[in-house]
Amino acid sequence: MKRAIYFILLLLIITTSCKKSASAPTVVYQDDLYVNENSWNLDSTSAYNKGFYKDHYSINVDTSGEMIVSMAPYGSINYPYSVQVDGTMQLINANQTGNIGFLFNYVDAKDFSLLQIFSNGTYAIWAMKSGTYSCIVSSTVSSAIQSGSGAKNTIKIIQGQSSMQLVINNTIIGNYPITFPGSYIQVGIYASDNTPNVYPFIGLFNNFIMARV
């Protein structure tokens, strides 16, 4: 009987130790983006305006074909990470198409990756290496994406050493062959208007979280 109790206690200790060793991601930067805390880049030109609007951080795009990026103020990181944000797309009319997402694994203007979530319910993933674009995923419909004006999507990227996982609205979309660059990188949110002569397209953002995984 004593031997049985001993083995039960030993099993509980091992199980508890295993649970503790599976550490959860460590949050390294978090901002709810409800109010201006003077940390995100706020500026404007004839092509865009970055600021705070109705309890959101907004990127207001006033020309088509421009990808307006706002880099996270956390700084550079050199380890696998996850990044998440709530993004809402505001359209002028039903014929307008825009997209929001992440510019991630950003080393410089010639080396980075790009995730696009479109207002028509599709997504695409690109990578630029040494100034040359390659398509990882061409425009693909996903039922997990909320589409249309006012659509809100929780977008998450989990960047490991050898692959990237995309999660939208708590649904795993897939794993993709994007490796961590192995150097210091940055991450940014962005918005882009795809419809000529129909402005603005507005991306509204809340609850930005970056974690070490």
- Whole-number pLDDT of residue 17: 39
pLDDT tens digits, 192-210:
999 999 999 999 999 999 9
- Of residues 104, 122, 123, the one with CA closest to residue 114: 104
> What single DSSP character describes residue 91?
-
Torsions phi, psi of 5, nearest 5? Answer: -65, -40
Q: Which residues have CB under 8 Å from 76's CB, separation 6+?
A: 184, 185, 186
In a domain, 124, yes or no: yes
In a domain, 158, yes or no: yes
In a domain, 1, yes or no: no
Tell me, what CATH number does 182's domain have?
A: 2.60.120.560
Instruction: Tell me the longest C-alpha to C-alpha distance in the chain.
Output: 81
In a domain, 9, yes or no: no
In a domain, 8, yes or no: no
In a domain, 12, yes or no: no
- Whole-number pLDDT of residue 38: 85
- Whole-number pLDDT of residue 20: 40
- Whole-number pLDDT of residue 23: 65
Say how many domains are in the chain: 1
- Whole-number pLDDT of residue 152: 96
This prediction has a pTM of 0.88
- Of residues 169, 166, 173, the one with CA closest to residue 146: 169
In a domain, 7, yes or no: no
Q: Which range marks the domain in which residue 73 is found?
A: 24-212
Alpha carbons 92 and 72: distance in angstroms, whole number: 27
Alpha carbons 3 and 25: distance in angstroms, whole number: 38
pLDDT tens digits, 96-126:
999 999 999 999 999 999 999 999 999 999 9
Mean pLDDT per 10-residue run, the chain (213 residues)?
40 37 80 93 95 96 95 93 98 95 97 98 96 96 97 97 98 97 95 95 98 96
> What single DSSP character describes residue 56?
S
- Of residues 205, 204, 197, the one with CA closest to residue 62: 197
- Of residues 208, 212, 211, 198, the one with CA closest to residue 97: 198
In a domain, 11, yes or no: no
> What single DSSP character describes residue 38?
S
